[in-house]
Structure 1
Amino acid sequence: MTQETFAALMNKSVRWVEEFEAGRRQADPQLSIIRLAALRLNITLERLLSDPVDAECIEDSEIEAVRRALHRHDVITGSCDDSSAEPLPVEQLYASLTHARLGFQAGHFAQLSGAIPKLLVDTTRAAQRHEGDDRLVSYEVLSLSLELTEAAAIKWGSTELAVIAGHRAVAAAERSENPVIKASAARHLGDAMTNHGQAAEAAEFVLAAARRLEPELLRSGPDGFSVLGMLYLKAAMAAAAAAEADDRNPGQHSRRVPDHLGQAKEQAGRLGGDDNRLWTAFGPTNVSLYTVAAHVQLSEGADALAVAASITPEAFHNLPKERRAHLLADRAHGEMQAGLREEAVATLLDAEELASEEVRCRPRTRTLVENLQLLGAGSAEGRLRALADRCGLPG
């Protein structure tokens, strides 16, 4: 809307609008003026007063572009494509992957749909055409690129696509001959299977990978400790999800959750602190994050909140934005479970400010917003309606 149009709506001069927008007319405008502006703009007062948080959710057509790349003959078979171009140097491939991965950890999920197809084609071509050590490294980058595809697909809510990418990542990792990459791919496939409703099978898979690879991973130093710890964290989440899905004997799964969290904590102790090797963000703090998530999965909201409260502000702020927003979303789930719905809305707004796509675009979090709408949020009702509006949910 132009300043001229807004001035006409407010029955003011353009100069008044310029000074108002620049904060020169009133540092703290009268509420009557803000109410009039909301009325003229046909939006709620809460939406007008909230800080703008940009979020462009991914379109179905963009997910289809990633799906088409995964379904290419050369990408599926690992054969040469029709291009006569030389394979990119492995250093350039890794740089492109790093840029995309950092975007994911910053909470920018939608933009990955443009980077992923090219990564998949370029790394497949490199793995086919490079020789010697460069071929092995190319398979590493191919596997890591497929892992990124899996992780992004989970955020997009396309679990079937995530499972496909996860299976391919494991196959590429085996060809890399690197135990760290094999373990990293296995933990991503376990995550995809859990989100796709195959939690019990996911737990078995990641634990089998941990048993098979543990001796080599312990000899691999910090990278090995990190991915081994992540395998146990994924096992804990898979066991918690399996418990929720098992109506007959949930205890057989839920009893394993503390054991797997303890195994992850042991690896975090070996690591000696929080780190972000292979974009795991693994360490004692991430173990706490997964503990919160496991409690939420088991509908133990009060326990989840107690663990979340134990995470220090310094440790929290040292996490990547995606991890911080994920924790806040889990905390909001725990608050809803504990009957603290007003607090849950405030926590979701904090998560939205950190990584808006985690709240506005991720199906899991949007469902939480819908549930809060059904249950009611007391004095936070206005803020919740504004959040639901930004999520594109019906009022």
Structure 2
Amino acid sequence: MSYTSDEHTGARIADYRKLRRLTQDGLAQRAFVSRGMIAKVEAGLSPASPAFVAATARALHVDVSVLYGQPYTSQLRQDEIDALIVPLTEALDLNDIDPDPDITPRPVAALDHAVADIVRRSRATDFKRVAATLPGLLGELTTALATPRPTDDRRRAAAALATTYWVAHQLAARLGYPDLASIALDRMGWVAAQADDPLLQAVRLYSRSLFYVRRGRPEVGLKVVARAQRLVDQADRPAGVPALAVRGKLHLRASFIAARARDEVRSAEFLALGGEAADRIGRDVPNVYWLSFGLTDVAQYKVETHVDMERMPEAITDARNIRFPSGYSPTRIGRHYIDLSRAYTEMGKTEQAVRSLRRARQAAPQQVQYHPTAREVVGALVRRHRRLPEDLASLAVWVGMA
């Protein structure tokens, strides 16, 4: 199963624009984007940036997943993941009923180990194993939380269940199921309060802020981040490394959101605050509440904001100084090279764009296959060439293009 080079985000934007009886000029006025960019994206000659898709989706009154063509059902079938979505949906729907009497949960220490393993697999984008494991683990943790136990064990069980809901959220979001991702994040909020950990609740809001970015509402996303920062203030040790890492990550998220809103000044201010938090820690922290943070992360976000502000030469220049330490999140490495592939594509540098996508594939292969920007870049590169270079042809086949 595959998709053709004619099946791209720009073509879907054109279809919905016509259904809404809008001209390209009319959509440009509603979405606050240029008509020239709409023309290039609809023709498939330029990759649709996430900010562009969010703006046009809001103007056309559709979800961004619709314009991206998500979920990518052919890829899901090929990876044998499609049949795992229903069990996950059912597991997320069973949070408020009596626990299954046939489930005997493992001790909390063993459950903590199982949750750490599924987090590791999620960060490595092992989507199939994660999707297969989640329903059973959610059932076991829900039962454990409903079983009378000492207060400390109950808090640990709640934290483990909140973490597992976060993994479910991440999986659903990456596979293109925004409604399922939203449900998982709501479930996380419900149980995170029982863990009595403000940082856990702050990280949930860190993820929630992206919903508003996807909907073209960056100002709301910034309010969500500000609320999360107030939760960090409530941590037992606000000056400790975990709190500093979460606070710094929130500053970087705010920088990213401000960049999407084209607010260069605020984006730079938030990025500087993130840098200050990283300087206070003095090292990279590879896994605090499932997040990577430190000087490397700040440098990577600087590149990311350059790309979102369409300052592609600056992004390429700053990227040359980044060296990922051992143990760094594969998803963050993959995202970095996907961003660079977009920058190189916009600059007309096919060879470098393909090389970046290959490096993203090496770091986190399934992330590339399911990432809308990566697929947009491959499609745009294919449509620009009458005769495909061998590397590009191989990459196009790998992501499922006919």
Range class of TM-score, shorter chain? 0.7 to 0.9
Alignment match, 1:309: 320
Residue of structure 2 in register with 1:5 after alignment: none
Amino acid at match of 2:219: A
**Which amino acid in the other structure matches residue 268 of structure 2?**
P
> Once superposed, which parts of structure 1, at least 4 consecutive aligned residues long, lie more than 6 Å away?
none
The offset of 1:316, in angstroms, is 4.8
Query: Which of 193, 201, 204 is 2:223 aligned to?
Result: 204
How big is each residue's C-alpha offset from its partner over 1:342-363, in whole Å with a ceiling of 9 and x where there is no partner? 2101111122223221222333
Q: Cα deviations across residues 241-267 of structure 1 (Å, max 9, x unaligned)?
A: 3x2xxxxxx44xx43222222222222
What is aligned with 2:86? 64
Query: Equivalent residue for 2:309?
Result: 298
Give the distance between the partners of 1:307 and 1:355, measured in 2 at CA.
Answer: 22
Amino acid at match of 1:375: R
Aligned AA (1:135):
R
Change (3 A) 1:360 1:240: same
Query: Where in structure 2 are the equivalents of 1:310-349 lying within 5 Å?
Result: 310-312=321-323, 315-349=324-358
Q: Deviations over 1:67-95 (max 9, x none)?
A: 222122xx1x2x43232544332211111
Distance 1:216 1:171 in 2: 18
Structure 2: 5+ residue stretches without partners? 1-76
Deviation at 1:284, TM superposition (A): 1.0
For residues 195 and 115 of structure 1, the distance between their equivalents in structure 2, rounded to whole angstroms, comes to: 28
| Contact kept in structure 2, 1:237 and 1:290, CA below 8 Å | yes
The root-mean-square deviation of aligned C-alpha atoms, in Å, is 2.4
Q: Measure, in 2, the Cα distance between the counterparts of 1:270 and 1:278.
A: 18
Query: How many Å apart are 1:160 and its aligned residue?
Result: 2.4
The answer to whether the 8 Å contact 2:232/2:238 transfers is: no
Equivalent residue runs for 1:236-275 within 5 Å: 236-241=255-260, 243=261, 250-251=262-263, 254-275=264-285
- RCO higher in structure (CA 8 A, sep ≥6): 2
Alpha-carbon distance in structure 1 between the residues aligned to 2:386 and 2:351: 5
Q: Is the 8 A contact 1:232 1:261 kept in 2?
A: yes
Structure 1 residues 377 and 129: alpha-carbon distance in aligned structure 2, compared to 1, 3 A threshold: farther
- 1: distance between equivalents of 2:257 and 2:284? 23
Larger Rg: 1
Structure 1 gap ranges (5+): 1-54, 244-249
Pick from 381, 385, 389 the counterpart of residue 381 of structure 1.
Answer: 389
Give the share of equivalent positions with the same residue, in percent. 25
Q: Deviations over 1:189-237 (max 9, x none)?
A: 2234434555432221122111343252653611111122222222222
Give the SS at the match of 1:200.
Answer: helix
Rate the CA distance shift 1:217–1:148 in 2: closer, same or farther, 3 A: farther
Please state whether the residue corresponding to 1:87 is helix, strand or coil. Answer: coil
1:186 counterpart = 2:205: yes
Deviates more, 1:120-129 or 1:186-195: 186-195
Q: 1:240 to 1:66 in 2, by over 3 A?
A: farther
TM-score normalised by structure 2 residue count: 0.74
Question: Structure 1 residues 111, 326: CA separation in 2 closer, same or farther (over 3 Å shift)?
Answer: same
Distance 1:189 1:325 in 2: 21
SS at match of 2:292: coil
- Asked if structure 2 preserves the Cα contact closer than 8 Å seen for 1:150 and 1:192, the reply is no
How many equivalent residue pairs? 324
